[in-house]
Amino acid sequence: MGFQRARGALMRLVSVSIICMGFAQAAPAGMIGTAYLLDDESRAASLSRIELVLARQDVGRQLEALGVEKAMIMERLGGLSNAELLELEGQLDSQVAGGDILALIGAVFVVLLILELVGVTNIFKSF
């Protein structure tokens, strides 16, 4: 049991360091990125490196919990900007996920029916 737990902790540590390594490559130490000259939000983001590392870990964990294969997580995180990482931190669930056109017909039909029943007939003009 103890061994299992220790192994789990080690694996987590390793995956966190791998994620941090990916980050370090993208931003050379001490360099201030161009985003600093853009708006205030990016400016803050571009300077708080510790926050970024934490955000990266958090978003990585969320992706994993949502079924993304471990091998792909680093690559997927690698394409995100700092501001995007900070926005996704702890918020992944509130983001729109564009998915299916196929489930649509039922939902729209129900809505149209309700709207018709309450007398909002002009809905049909727009569909």
Partner 1 sequence: MPALLVMAAGCAPIPSSVSELPATVGSIELDDTPFYPQERYQCGPAALTTVLVQSGATVSLDEIVDKVYLPGRQGSLQFELLAAVRTEGRLPYQVDGTLDAIWRELEAGRPVLVLQNLGVAAIPSWHYAVVIGIDARRGEIVLRSGTDKRRVTRIRTFLHTWRRGDYWGIVVLEPGELPAAADRARYFESVAALEEAGRIEGAAAAWQAGLDNWPGDNVALFGLANSRFAMRDYQAAERAYRDLLEQRPGLLAARNNLALTLAEQGNHDAALKEIGRALSENPAPALERELRDTEATIRRRMTSGEQ
Binding site for partner 1 (CB under 8 A): 25-39, 42, 44, 47-48, 63, 65-69, 72, 75-84, 87-88, 92, 95-104, 107-108, 110-111, 115, 118-120, 122-123, 125-127
* Nearest approach, Cβ of residue 14 and partner 1 (Å): 21
Q: Judge whether 56 and 19 are in contact, CB under 8 Å.
A: yes
Taking the least distance from each CB to partner 1, the nearer of 4 and 121 is 121
Taking the least distance from each CB to partner 1, the nearer of 1 and 113 is 113
* Nearest approach, Cβ of residue 102 and partner 1 (Å): 6
Of 80, 40, 42, 39, the residue nearest 59 (C-alpha): 80
Of 72, 56, 67, the residue nearest 97 (C-alpha): 67
Taking the least distance from each CB to partner 1, the nearer of 54 and 80 is 80
Encoding tokens for residue 13? 């540590």
Taking the least distance from each CB to partner 1, the nearer of 1 and 107 is 107
Of 52, 45, 65, the residue nearest 19 (C-alpha): 52
Tell whether the torsion through CA atoms of 105, 107, 113 and 116 is positive or negative.
negative
Q: Judge whether 16 and 58 are in contact, CB under 8 Å.
A: no
* Nearest approach, Cβ of residue 60 and partner 1 (Å): 13
* Nearest approach, Cβ of residue 109 and partner 1 (Å): 10
